[in-house]
Amino acid sequence: MISWIFYLLLLFGAVYLIVHYVGERTQVRGDSMYPSLCDGDNLIVDKISYRFSDPGRYDIVVFPFRYQEGMFYIKRVIGLPGETVQIQDGNIYINGKILKEPYGNEPIRNPGLASEAITLGQDEYFVLGDNRNNSADSREPSVGCISREDIIGRAVLRIWPASSIGFLN
């Protein structure tokens, strides 16, 4: 009996450590990352790699929405610490140069906060949804630039629907 209790405690301890420190399943709600991710997609979030490295441009990251407990956003990293980001005429500029990236679903109609140049701090990231005209992201004051410490992890694998299983770009 004692050995069973020991093994169950060990099992629950291992599950707890994996879910809180290594990886976690999450579900996409809404279309802000369309066409890369769709409403209802189930993903695995890697929570350990950012303990050893920093988020890179185009990584898909998960972070909490600061004004609603239990709500998390999933967006793509566009601007990195120390860079200047601005959106003009539907184009994204990083340090004054147009960013050529394939992820935007369409030209940006509303630059929001990025209509003026935003210089990111040493631990700040500028994030956008791929569905640029249907996304609450760093262009909005309610989201703003994301602090490094707020990033929970990087979405790495789609596990549902079965027809779309695979690693994310």
Active site (annotated) includes residue 164: no
Active site (annotated) includes residue 75: yes
Q: Which of 47, 75, 135, 138 is catalytic?
A: 75
Q: Are 109 and 140 in contact (CB under 8 A)?
A: no
Which token pair is 60?
């898909």
Residue 142 CA, chain-centre distance (Å), reads: 16
User: Could you tell me which residues are beta bridge partners of residue 143?
Assistant: none
CA 112 to CA 33: how far, in whole Å?
18
CA 148 to CA 23: how far, in whole Å?
18
Q: Which of 32, 36, 135, 138 is catalytic?
A: 32
The residues that are catalytic are 32, 75
